[in-house]
Structure 1
Amino acid sequence: MSVRYLTARLAQQIDEELMGPAGAFSLDQLMELAGLACAQTLAKVYGKDKYPRVLVCCGPGNQGGDGLVAARHLGMFGYQPTIYMPKPGSKDHYKRLQIQCDNMKIPTLPPSSDVEALKRVLGSSDVILDAIFGFSFKGPIRSPFDSTLPLLTESKLPIVSVDIPSGWDVERGNAEGVGLNSDVLVSLTAPKEGVRHFTGRHFLGGRFIPKSLEGKYELNLPHYPGFDQIVELPSAQKL
């Protein structure tokens, strides 16, 4: 049986159960596992010899937290990440993740960076990790992100997106045509309905799902090889 694609409501429900009595995970644990899977995906597709400079774009929510964790791991993998947060998160766990990256000497662009500053850092980057919007995103795209996304697209750099490309609706995909056209996607827990027709390389990073929840929601998750935190799924081009 093929892996199950999740609606927004079902994805939220599973997240709540993971952090409730059934899963007993903390938010920090899930972010650490998700961010590690994202870093491993980027490293698998874009080797550091050819793509050492990674621009990690983080939104203010949990998606951005995953990106900060990924930036830290990429630094440990030998990449040269730079963090860009158009609007930094305000919660304590987000601030702790920022400190962890600071302690790794990972540079962060000031939130007030103007368009020219972002263009300059894009010009000296090799690949983008998109951790701006997650599955709870609802349009329209507002400032400051309405100017950020077009610049990422115009850069022509390869883009790895976390869970769903930023600007896509969790169930309707890039129906409005304003989202990123990512080259690689790493879905977390299980893929979302909106990415059924994603044509790039598609990975799953959800090796933290308990067997009880996998069975309850009939997720039909694939086998993860060896000790990898990710597994590649067939893209829409291959279906």
Structure 2
Amino acid sequence: MALKTLSGKAAAALDKELMSTGAFSIDQLMELAGLSVSQVVYHVHPPNKGNRILIACGPGNNGGDGLVAARHLRHYGYKPSVYYPKRSKNDLYQRLAKQLEDLEVNFVDDFASAMKSADHIVDAVFGFSFSGEVREPFPSVIKALEETKIPVTSVDAPSSWDIENGPPQSGLGSKFNPAYLVSLTAPKPLVRHFKGRHFVGGRFVSPAIAKNYDFEVPNYQGVDQFAEVGVGGTRKL
């Protein structure tokens, strides 16, 4: 199943609409996004394949989704570790970090060292709003993700990729193609360049909002908060 893609501009507008006419709070949307990511990890890498999950979190909403996913993974029986070098002072992010600390989730300072004992990595550094250059301390993280043989699940976008055009043509991030991608709400145009298994997460969009933005809501099964879909969008919105 291939779905239509949602441009970065349309995705930003959709988020605003979800929090206005859709009546969702950012807390709810982040919780549902992080829950879907955690379910995808459980689906592709159950605990019996190795329960040490390393989650790399950026300073924005994508990082917040990663923090939520880490909490759920801890409750599923994994042993998550979190690399979160640029902690936000925003109350929401501080509460998400506190919840992990209360669960005795380990926060690590050295991503490369933490990778040595990881069975799976969640890339929640940059999302659909990323543009420009990768700033410190994340260049070394992107380079490590490019080179690792450990399976990586990226949240909404492989970090360093342009939301419309995919990976950089050269340099940092140009060789990064994670094993799994969880597109939140709807796929973005970059999926045309993605070669792994592709999932859509975030089971909360109403038919009216989906119609307004002219995209399909995937056929979620049972209690799943994700659906596996193809990587080729039919047209860009």
Q: TM-score range by the shorter chain?
A: over 0.9
- Aligned counterpart in structure 2 of residue 130 of structure 1, from 110, 113, 123: 123
Match of 2:62?
63
Does the alignment pair 1:193 with 2:168?
A: no
Pairing 1:147–2:140 present:
yes
| Count of residues paired in the alignment | 229
Query: Which runs of 5 or more structure 2 residues have no equivalent in the other structure?
Result: 233-237
Say which of 210, 213, 225 aligns to 1:217: 213
- After superposition, residues 201-212 of structure 1 pair within 5 angstroms as 201-212=197-208
Q: Aligned pair 1:118/2:111, yes or no?
A: yes
Distance in 1 of aligned mates of 2:202 and 2:28? 12
Query: How far apart are the structure 2 equivalents of 1:137 and 1:131?
Result: 12
TM-score, length-normalised on structure 2?
Answer: 0.93
Letter in 2 for 1:18: L
Deviation at residue 176 of structure 1 after TM alignment: 3.1
Deviation readout 1:77-120 (Å, 9 max, x if unpaired): 001100001322221100000001111111111xxx3xxx4322
TM-score, with length taken from structure 1? 0.92
Instruction: Find the counterpart in structure 1 of residue 10 from structure 2.
Output: 10
State the distance in 1 between where 2:117 and 2:200 align. 29
1:54 aligns with 2:47: no
Q: Which amino acid aligns with 1:187?
A: S
Partners of 2:2 and 2:230 within 8 A in 1 = no
The offset of 1:2, in angstroms, is 4.9
State the Cα RMSD in Å: 1.4
Tell me if 1:171 matches 2:167.
no
In structure 1, C-alpha distance between the alignment counterparts of 2:123 and 2:130, rounded to whole Å: 14
User: What letter corresponds to residue 228 of structure 1 in structure 2?
Assistant: D
Q: 5+ unaligned residues in a row in structure 1: which ranges?
A: none
CA offsets 1:9-59 (integer angstroms, 9 cap, x no match): 100000000011x10000000000000000000110011111210000000
